[in-house]
Structure 1
Amino acid sequence: MNLHSSLVLDIKNSKLIIIDEATMMTKHALRCIDRLLKDIMKNSHPFGGKVILLGGDFRQTLPVVPKGSKVDIIESCIKSSYLWSHFKIIHLIDNMRISSDQVDYNAWLLKIGDGLSRSNSDLPTNSVEIPPYLLENDSLIKCVYGNSIEIADIDSLSTKIILTTKNKIALTLNNDIINIISGPIKHYYSADSIESDNKDDIMNFPIEILHSQTPSGMPPHKLTLKVGTIVMLLRNLSPKKGLCNGTRLIIRHLHINFIDAEVLTGTNKGYRVFLPRIDLAPSDSQLPFTLKRRQFPIIPAFVISINKSQGQTFDHVGLFLPEPVFAHGQLYVALTRCKSQNNMKIMILPSELQGKILKNDKTFTQNIVYNEILNS
């Protein structure tokens, strides 16, 4: 970073630095912030003497460690950082998302966040019962979005979401919803290549293999869109204008070389933007090569992953669980995205670990909680 830039000057003049959703940040990121502030302030005190406020709830999801074990995830958490001892813990006790008249529901959510133990020894470990009034057994898409999607009613659309466990599942459901929207469909195909100095790598992986890959944080090779599709940005294009990773937009016009979209939420709601194709590469990929993809930096966002939803609030939420959650805090995050229990619906596909596993009317799913994080 240029130590004479306007951003550095803003940091020097700041009295307080706030980092929201800090539970998803790794200890290495916290260490980098500490070193950067020390360099900027020329001060050897922690964080260069600046006051740092970390916001977050350790009941929610933790840093993503690809193929990492429970130990790896806990070790990467900011609570494992040598800097954690410098922070003073302040507890917030009122749930500002759930209305105060839903006391029982709020108490149940807290138990989910803290980890519910099995009430029956015949249940698999980590099992939790889902109340019948939250279950949806017909069509989750119709339950959340209705029989048709009205493009003109964007205020209503922006307050609805379906959550699921994995990006691959979300992409399939998004395509199903796009087919419900009236109007012509348009496909945008990416230009893929391998970044490598080794010619053998380029020869060993044909273009069909590259097209079939969709690493986390990347748009698919075949991007299917219609006018009225809700999409999410995958890169920071212009933070000052609110065009950040995670910003939701609605498609207004589809052109050959650019997309006309409108910001759905936030202080820049209603802002129109032209989105170009850009060169993208996965920030963290398990592929044996570096994939370079030229594509629009968006994905459909009628359905998003649970991890991507953290920090957001919606009026209507559907949770699709074709398989149980697989990481700490995911079930708690999904259930706490909605303002009211009356507008929260869950569809659970039966398996050995979820559904009516006791062969009665009760429905169960998995609730993964690392008590080591909550108790440390």
Structure 2
Amino acid sequence: MRLTVGVLPSTVEETKRFSEWLLDIGEGKVGGDNDGVATVEIPSDLLITDSLDPIESLIQFVYPSVLERYKDRDYFSERAILTPKNEVVHEINDRLLELFPGEQTEYLSSDSICATKKGIDSFQQELYSPDVLNGLKISGLPNHRLVTFLGKRVIEAEIISGANVGTRTFIPRIRMIPFDKKIPFAFQRRQFPVAVCFAMTINKSQGQSLSKVGLFLKEPVFTHGQLYVALSRVKSREGVKMLILDKDGKPTNTTTNVVYKEVFTHL
């Protein structure tokens, strides 16, 4: 559906072939019919192959001339780098932030253990010190340290997508308590509820239509349909490039596609 909007007559056949390839990725038919985890080969024109600095090449594809256009809200509204895991998202976001000129403003969160009925003894307070809590990076929770170019006490932001494009809004700090089963204790973080979004996880990108997508697979996708979701965000074949790294960190042309056929029987 994304690919057919505004398609030029001269590219109808190419668009049709690309859309059929995307559907085959989603149904697990590329590289042979499979039910589970399969290795697929990606067409060469969709790949980043630069071996010297492949991440820089991916950034240049998605965000060309970013230092000349970073004040243009429309420039950022339809492009993103996608990757399976949050730690790689932070890596890409930090690298892009380093490019921007101007004085930085650093926002540090206030983290503390949540009070319980039994109370917190001195050993637990020492075990879960502020330094430990500050270092936690949890999905759905802003990081302890945020670096931006915005206000010191409140963030004034402009909405660049959706129904309220152009609307200015003020964002205060709020208290948040994550519910992550991997954390054996409850704590709260007081921080601005924002995150840098040059890059985002594939799961977070669901539902978006983008003109430029860079898919960074430092590690393969790991859940059903992730590869299809990432590739199908884009509006044209020319708008997507993939950077796939092998176990030695070198660009490669094969990756994992995870498709479990039993999922389709319950749709």
TM-score range, shorter chain: 0.7 to 0.9
Deviations 1:221-277 (A, max 9, x none): 011223xxxxxxxxxxxxxxxxxxxxxxxxxxx222101100011110000011100
Q: Shift of the alpha carbon at 1:370?
A: 1.3
Instruction: Name the aligned partner's letter for residue 175 of structure 2.
Output: D
Equivalent position of 1:203 in the other structure: 126
**Alignment partner of 1:155 out of 74, 81, 84:** 74
Equivalent position of 2:254 in the other structure: 364
Equivalences for residues 80-99 of structure 1 within 5 A: 96-99=1-4
Q: Shift of the alpha carbon at 1:280?
A: 0.9
Equivalent position of 1:224 in the other structure: 147
Write the distance in 1 (CA, Å) between the matches of 2:204 and 2:101.
27
Three-state SS of the structure 1 residue aligned to 2:18 is helix
Is 1:175–1:224's contact at 8 Å kept on the other side of the alignment?
A: no
Equivalent position of 1:136 in the other structure: 48
Instruction: Name the aligned partner's letter for residue 25 of structure 2.
Output: I
Write the distance in 1 (CA, Å) between the matches of 2:171 and 2:64.
29
**Alignment partner of 2:188 out of 289, 292, 304:** 292
Write the distance in 2 (CA, Å) between the matches of 1:117 and 1:266.
34
Write the distance in 2 (CA, Å) between the matches of 1:261 and 1:297.
12
Three-state SS of the structure 2 residue aligned to 1:282 is coil
Instruction: Name the aligned partner's letter for residue 216 of structure 2.
Output: F
Query: What RMSD over aligned residues (CA atoms) do the two structures have, in Å?
Result: 2.0
Question: Structure 1 segments of 4 or more deviating over 6 A?
Answer: none
**Alignment partner of 1:191 out of 110, 131, 134:** 110
Deviations 1:128-181 (A, max 9, x none): 111000001231111110143313321122111110111111011111111112
Q: Shift of the alpha carbon at 1:355?
A: 5.9
Instruction: Name the aligned partner's letter for residue 328 of structure 1.
Output: H
Three-state SS of the structure 2 residue aligned to 1:256 is coil
Deviations 1:285-324 (A, max 9, x none): 4101112000000100010000000000011111011000
Equivalent position of 1:343 in the other structure: 239
What's the TM-score once normalised by structure 2's chain length? Answer: 0.86
Q: Shift of the alpha carbon at 1:375?
A: 2.9
Identity score, percent: 41
Deviations 1:7-44 (A, max 9, x none): xxxxxxxxxxxxxxxxxxxxxxxxxxxxxxxxxxxxxx
Three-state SS of the structure 2 residue aligned to 1:323 is coil
Is 1:186–1:225's contact at 8 Å kept on the other side of the alignment?
A: yes
Structure 2 gap segments, 5+ residues each: 51-56
Is 1:355–1:365's contact at 8 Å kept on the other side of the alignment?
A: no
Confirm or deny that 1:316 pairs with 2:212.
yes
Confirm or deny that 1:375 pairs with 2:249.
no
Moved more, 152-161 or 311-320: 152-161
Q: When the two structures are aligned, how many residues end up with a matched partner?
A: 244
Write the distance in 2 (CA, Å) between the matches of 1:260 and 1:125.
45
What's the TM-score once normalised by structure 1's chain length? Answer: 0.62
Write the distance in 1 (CA, Å) between the matches of 2:65 and 2:105.
22
Q: Shift of the alpha carbon at 1:283?
A: 3.2
Equivalent position of 1:178 in the other structure: 97
Write the distance in 1 (CA, Å) between the matches of 2:195 and 2:207.
19
Instruction: Name the aligned partner's letter for residue 17 of structure 2.
Output: D
Three-state SS of the structure 2 residue aligned to 1:368 is strand
Higher Cα radius of gyration: 1
Q: Shift of the alpha carbon at 1:202?
A: 2.5
Write the distance in 2 (CA, Å) between the matches of 1:195 and 1:332.
40
> RCO (CA 8 Å, sep 6+): is it higher in 1 or 2?
2
Write the distance in 2 (CA, Å) between the matches of 1:180 and 1:148.
9
Is 2:105–2:151's contact at 8 Å kept on the other side of the alignment?
A: no
